[in-house]
Amino acid sequence: METLNLLFNEIYKILFLLIPVLVTVAMIVWLDRRVWALVQKRRGPNVVGPFGLLQSLADALKYIFKEIIIPASSNKVIFILAPIITMTLALVAWAVIPFSENLVLSDINVGILYLFAVSSLGVYGIIMGGWASNSKYPFLGAIRSAAQMVSYEVSIGVIIINVLLCVGSLNLTDIVLAQQNTWFVLPLFPMFVIFFISALAETNRPPFDLPEAEAELVAGYQTEYSGMMYAMFWLGEYANILLMCAMGSILFLGGWLSPFDIEILSFIPAPFWLIFKILFLFILFALVKAIVPRYRYDQLMKLGWKIFLPFSLIWVVLTAGYLLYFNLLPSQL
């Protein structure tokens, strides 16, 4: 009986995390479209529900009732598994995201490695979807996406090293608590900018949405998908975008810590500060999509390998040298 109680308790905690994440994914799609509309002087979603808030629900119902078509020549098992893997990996990463010092599903000591590993595995779902479709255009889109994601994961990994040198811990809660005096966005501002741009490329967001370059690839790796299977790719993509915003908030913007040391703001719960910072970064993501034109693929690769990677490596040396010279290295190191 005790084992069952523990099992139900864990299931309850998982659902308590996943349901808000899924609802938030639906709502940020509405926010995404409203930001684009604002930049382009359009109205955006405004008909379905008040202020168009139910537009995402209407889109979800459309996907649920649309027919799922599986190409006759495809590898059907892998074709079906690909969107499931993409969405599952995007959701399980949220298990280690701390919304406050005591509000986290799994407060493991290697949380940053867990996040990096799970986000790296996301490329498998895209490669499987493109290959299993047995069509040249989805396969080319999947290869493009794989090369892009792997390239910018390298930069993100080197950027994270800068933060770890300042903290001396792989625990996400420790990273946030280390920023009680100064957020890392100030001393590591160039790394924050590179992280933000690399996150755009990692999640296939404009101006780096080259796997979905419609003019030459017919929407890329998900061309042959329809109905809920297409929606699962879509959910996984937006869940990954939110995850990158959460990582940026925790690594550089102080996580759940308040930006103002004012007594009157002490009533605001800590998780709200993290949510606010995630939304702030997501709005920046949406603004970039509306403003910046798409890169060419050779420009994308040059930016990642010839500019971001060398600059990040140099910054690691400078950060380590500064901390060592002034005897500021954390005791854990």
Position 192 scores a pLDDT of 94
Please give the model's pTM, rounded to 2 decimal places.
0.91
- pLDDT bin (cut points 50, 70, 90) of residue 262 is low
- The per-residue pLDDT for range 265-319, each reduced to its tens digit, is 667 788 888 999 999 999 999 999 888 888 888 888 899 899 999 999 999 999 9
Contacts of 91 (CB under 8 A, 6+ apart): 18, 21, 22, 239
The tens digit of pLDDT for each residue in 54-111 reads 888 888 889 888 888 888 888 889 999 999 998 888 888 888 999 888 888 888 888 8
Between CA 115 and CA 77 the distance in angstroms is: 27
User: What pLDDT, on the 0 to 100 scale, is given for residue 137?
Assistant: 83
Residue 45: its pLDDT value, please?
86
- The tokens describing 123, both together, are 């490329």
Structure tokens at 229: 């299977």
Distance between CA 281 and CA 293 in Å, rounded?
19
pLDDT at 263: 61
Residue 327: half-sphere exposure toward Cβ, Cα within 13 Å:
0
Q: Measured between alpha carbons, how far is 42 from 71 in angstroms, rounded to an integer?
A: 38
Please provide the DSSP assignment of 290-331 as one string. Answer: HHSPPPPHHHHHHIIIIIIHHHHHHHHHHHHHHHHHTT---T
Q: What is the maximal distance between C-alpha atoms in the chain?
A: 65
pLDDT of amino acid 308 = 92
Q: Which two tokens stand for residue 145?
A: 């996406």
Give the pLDDT score at 246: 93
User: Tokens at residue 151, please?
Assistant: 């390239």
1 pLDDT band, cuts 50/70/90, is low
For 160-204, the DSSP string reads HHHHHHHH----HHHHHHTTSSS-TTTTTHHHHHHHHHHHHHHTT
The structure tokens 């701390």 sit at 98
pLDDT in tens, 103-156: 888 888 888 889 888 888 888 888 998 899 888 888 888 888 888 888 898 889
More confident residue, 143 or 332: 143
Is 166:186 a contact under the CB 8 Å cutoff? no
Between the CA atoms of 285, 239, 68 and 134, what dihedral angle is there, to the nearest 10 degrees?
80
Mean pLDDT of 8-25: 77
Rounded to 5 degrees, φ, ψ at 254 are 80, 10
- Contact of 315 with 190, CB cutoff 8 Å: yes
| pLDDT average, residue stretch 236-244 | 90
Q: pLDDT tens digits, residue range 178-228?
A: 998 889 999 999 999 999 999 998 888 888 887 666 666 667 788 888 888
Q: Would you say 213 and 138 are in contact if contact means Cβ atoms under 8 Å apart?
A: no
CA–CA distance, 132 with 130 (Å, rounded to integer): 6
